[in-house]
Amino acid sequence: MALYVQKFGGTSVGSVERIKAVAEKVKGFRDAGHQVVVVVSAMSGETNRLIGLANDINDEPTPRELDMLVSTGEQVTISLLTMALHKLGVPATSYTGSQVGIMTDSAHTKARIQRIETEDMRQDLDDGQVAVVAGFQGVDEEGNITTLGRGGSDTTGVALAAALNADECQIYTDVDGVYTTDPRVCSQAQRLDTITVEEMLELASLGSKVLQIRAVEFAGKYNVPLRVLSSFQDGPGTLIVADSDKDEDSMEEPLISGIAFTANEAKLTLLNTPDVPGVASKILGPIADANIEIDMIVQNVAPAGDYTDFTFTVAKGDYKLTLKILEEQVLPALGEGEVKGDDKIAKVSLVGVGMRSHAGVASKMFRVLSEENINIRMVSTSEIKISVVVDEKQMELAVRALHQAFGLDKNDIESE
Amino acid sequence: MALYVQKFGGTSVGSVERIKAVAEKVKGFRDAGHQVVVVVSAMSGETNRLIGLANDINDEPTPRELDMLVSTGEQVTISLLTMALHKLGVPATSYTGSQVGIMTDSAHTKARIQRIETEDMRQDLDDGQVAVVAGFQGVDEEGNITTLGRGGSDTTGVALAAALNADECQIYTDVDGVYTTDPRVCSQAQRLDTITVEEMLELASLGSKVLQIRAVEFAGKYNVPLRVLSSFQDGPGTLIVADSDKDEDSMEEPLISGIAFTANEAKLTLLNTPDVPGVASKILGPIADANIEIDMIVQNVAPAGDYTDFTFTVAKGDYKLTLKILEEQVLPALGEGEVKGDDKIAKVSLVGVGMRSHAGVASKMFRVLSEENINIRMVSTSEIKISVVVDEKQMELAVRALHQAFGLDKNDIESE
């Protein structure tokens, strides 16, 4: 007998029929003798419908009232799924975030879980009940309803799995696992059986939107085995494991686990800025003050003299505002220099824990791109990731060329 | 400065525009220096939509899960109305039934309020906040969400007014007050300025669906001044007062305050039943066991010998089942007798505290009906009410004739 926490996202519970299908799936696990806690999101479209109503009334609703509003979405789903389980003869009880005791701080719309009171739920499980829990929501010490931010249902699932010491947290979604890259761009992309938490974090933050980053962090921190799998078809999915749990004996560990990419960034460069201590904070301070998040940062060494070039990327939606801040605030403060920008760029990243112990990944990457006549505009590296910025129109070509060159294509691995 | 509890029903908050209009109305009271607690229902149609979803999944959802589901309806409204108040610059805070501390028993879908914890709300009011409270819902001692049954938002409003010792509980609805009878049937019907709690109880239970009976009982029990008025037009509405608060000096107190009627009943008669002690319970026991509610009961005195006729009414929807129970269970148990039924009947009732001190109301009623050639099938009386059963097709004629005969028509009163 195992204890599973199973999380079903909005698409998986998006209609009455799908809710019934989820109930059948849960029943299967229970019939096999397992204990099950189910975490659900709002039915797909519901959260947007509610936010639409709010915006028709007040374009700047307070976070507390927004949480009060959108938390109803999951509450609807837990009651409907529990009714569906009852219909199948499965004893089940629904819980709001408040009822289950998911205690958070008071940062409405982006609250953080502080502790979970699992006593009642544990009792229910021992009594043979399936516990159906509203994802995405919690309650603060004053009893206000909070939400964990978009995609927070994943976090609820992992946090519950950690608190209950579950055998596995299963995240059911509309894809059947984590892929080497996006199959829509590269038809040779394939599902990974396992991936490490670190790799997953790099892939998630780089645009493979399978799992919420916080949920993966949580899973890594509390050592919760996390599996991504499809609501709609059977299959093993992808198991996300701690680095140390990966098979140490595998000599054939691939260098690269996956390729992430995004065209949603823009690049800004300050040319000929004075190369003196404190200049970086003078440049980035006003950007941060405007709540603009900065992704890559590259500062070239001054080739000669006291001047340098400083380049960074922001989300494409922040491009114009960032340009304005640089021109109107930063340049006058620096006293000299020049601003350049480009919002027709893309970022392509190789991710893999294997590259830690293998040299030459970067040089191979650059060679492959060069052979395709793809110009590299920026480079940034971490222990398990290399990211390059290229022209937006060359992004897909870069992804496919790298996917093949690093042995990720289907045929390559199948023939090994 | 007064403290008002204002309740707005589903039609009054049925759209974004109407929610904004409610916010304007609340702002008006607050700008005039009053403290305001607002109680709201789910947006019209929302509760039925949710119940429809439930029924698509499980035709017999458990009451606990049904409460979990439908209570989201009011939660959506409180957050939207609070956002609308914020937009107008009015400080406001929303509360679910659970958050406000509306403690009920555990009778899901028809829970009864046991106590209300008003401390937090009182503090908010003193801080200048408008408190926006979800009607219809509460929480039991174990933290389960409960609902008070359809129309329970009225009860929430009155209970809050009692707990806060409010100056007035105002029930905003889609009619501008309580009428002498239904204006759709009698064009001469007119709004009453005041009505007693007792009269209102008789009118409500007889089919004037302006207010929920329990709310009126509550108002009577805790001496809460209760006013029914329109969300959509200005006007004084109708004030529902304790009997003792009515103007004692008024010599011109009308005999009759209003005329209620319903075509939603059916009549059943057991002919020639043995007239022995215990026969009534033998007849009605199996009916009650089937959870069928009985309204009027008339037992004729046995004219001679040991036999009698026993007649009662039930809701039209229960007619066939009741007939079946009488034929298959009651008759065999009695050993003799005969069953007759009629579901083409209507009940018309005169209501008025004035009739307590005036003789002759019944005989005048019978005379008026006789003059219209309306046959009376059953009669039942209480201190402030006389009800007759007539043929369904004569119901409207009976209402109009009685309305005029008892001086309730517009012109009569205007000319007085």
Average pLDDT over residues A257-279: 88
- For A24-40, the pLDDT digits (tens) are 999 999 999 999 999 99
CATH class held by domain B245-416: alpha beta
| pLDDT tops 70 at residue A303 | no
Residue B412 pLDDT > 80:
no
B368, β-bridge pairs? none
Closest CA to B23 of B124, B126, B130: B130
Over the stretch A175-204, which tens digit does the pLDDT of each residue have?
Answer: 888 999 988 899 999 999 999 998 988 887
Q: What is the pLDDT of residue B303?
A: 63
Nearest Cα residue to B217 out of B184, B188, B250, B240? B240
Report helix angle A361-371 to A395-405, nearest 10: 130
Alpha-carbon span B255 to B361, nearest angstrom: 8
User: Chains A and B: how many Cβ contacts under 8 Å?
Assistant: 103
Residue B36 has which token pair?
């305001």
| Nearest by Cα to B125 from B173, B96, B157, B92 | B92
Residue of A38, A57, A95, A102 to mutate, interface with B, max B Cβ within 10 Å: A57
Residues of A in contact with B64 (CB under 8 A): 93-94
DSSP 8-class letter at A354: G
Q: Where are the beta strands (DSSP E) in B200-264?
A: 226-230, 238-241, 258-262
State yes or no: pLDDT of A413 exceeds 60: no
Chain-centre distance of CA A367, in angstroms? 30
Q: pLDDT > 70: what percent of chain A?
A: 93
Of A204 and A251, the structure prediction assigns the larger pLDDT to: A204
Of A292-296, A361-365, B124-128, where does the model show the most confidence? B124-128
The answer to whether residues B381 and B391 touch, using CB atoms and an 8 Å cutoff, is: no
Confidence of residue A106 (pLDDT cuts 50, 70, 90): very high
Decide: A171 and A211 in contact? Cβ < 8 Å.
Answer: yes
Residue among A69, A90, A100, A119 with most chain B CBs within 10 A, to mutate: A69
- CATH architecture of the region B3-174: 3-Layer(aba) Sandwich (3.40)
Distance CA B144, CA B135 (A): 16
C-alpha dihedral over A257, A259, A265, A267, to 10 degrees? 90
Residue B242, pLDDT > 60, answer yes
At B97-106, the pLDDT tens digits run 999 999 999 9
Buried b (16+ CB within 10 A) or exposed e, A92-122: bbbbbbbbbbbbbeeebbbbebeebebebbb
Chain centre distance of CA A387: 17
User: Please, what is the end-to-end C-alpha distance for chain A in angstroms?
Assistant: 36
**How wide is the angle at C-alpha A18 spanned by C-alphas A80 and A15, nearest 5°?**
70
Strands (E), A153-233: 168-173, 194-196, 226-230
User: When comparing pLDDT for A25 and A271, which is higher?
Assistant: A25
pLDDT, position A359: 72
- Which helix (H) or strand (E) segment holds residue B37: the answer is strand B35-40
Average pLDDT of every residue of chain A: 90
A246-416: what fold? VC0802-like (3.30.2130)
In 3D space, the residue among A148, A129, A176 whose CA is nearest the CA of residue A42 turns out to be A148
Check residue A415 and give its pLDDT: 42
Which chain A residues are Cβ-neighbours of B40 within 8 angstroms?
A: none
Which of A274-278, B345-349, B377-381 has the weakest average pLDDT? A274-278
- Chain B CB contacts of A75 under 8 Å are 68-69, 71-72, 75
Residue A3, strand partner residues: A35
Would you place residue B253 in the very low, low, confident or very high pLDDT band (cuts 50, 70, 90)?
low
Tokens 């052979």 correspond to: A371
Q: B398 — phi, psi (to 5°)?
A: -60, -45
CA dist A298 and A281 (Å) reads 13
Q: Rounded to a whole number, what is the distance in Å from the CA of B249 to chain A's nearest CA?
A: 50
| Range in A232-236, A353-357, B135-139, B372-376 with the lowest mean pLDDT | A353-357
- Which has more confidence, A12 or A244? A12
Which sign does the torsion angle of CA A400, A403, A408, A414 carry? positive
How far apart, in whole angstroms, are the C-alpha atoms of residue B374 and residue B28? 51
pLDDT, average across residues B382-400 = 93
Q: Test B79 with A54 for CB contact under 8 angstroms.
A: yes
The string of pLDDT tens digits covering residues A198-228 is 898 888 766 556 777 788 888 998 999 999 9
- Identify the DSSP state of B163: H
Instruction: Quote the CA–CA distance of B68 and B52 in Å, as a whole number.
Output: 14
Cβ atoms of residues B255 and B405 within 8 Å: no
**pLDDT class of B124 with cuts at 50, 70, 90:** very high
Task: Specify the pLDDT at position A312.
Answer: 93
Sheet strands side by side (includes B385-391): B258-262, B345-351, B385-391, B378-382
For every residue of A8-29, DSSP letters joined together read E-TTTTSSHHHHHHHHHHHHHH
Per-residue pLDDT at B171? 95
Residue A252 confidence (pLDDT) above 60: no
B82 close to A (CB below 8 A):
yes
Q: What residues in A contact B72, CB-CB < 8 Å?
A: 72, 75-76
A63 interface with B at CB cutoff 8 Å: no
Q: Where are the domains of chain A?
A: 3-174, 246-416
Residue A416 pLDDT = 39
The encoded tokens of residue B279 equal 């026969």
A57 → chain B, closest CA residue: B84
Q: What are phi and psi of B282, to 5 degrees?
A: -65, -35
Chain A contact probe: residue of B19, B49, B55, B57 with most A CBs at under 10 A:
B57
What pLDDT is attached to residue A28?
96
Q: Which residues of B touch A80 (CB under 8 A)?
A: 53-54, 57, 69
Mean pLDDT value of segment B29-40: 97
Task: Write down the pLDDT at residue A209.
Answer: 66
Does A56 contact B at CB distance below 8 Å? yes
Contact (CB<8Å) A87/B58: yes
Token code pair at residue B127 = 């801080």
Per the rule left: phi > 0, alpha: psi between -120 and 50, beta: everything else, A248 is alpha
Rg (CA), chain A: 24
Of B72, B82, B84, the CB nearest to A76: B72
Q: Do residues B46 and B15 make contact, with C-beta atoms less than 8 angstroms apart?
A: no
Provide, as residue numbers in chain A, all residues whose Cβ is less than 8 Å from the Cβ of B52: none
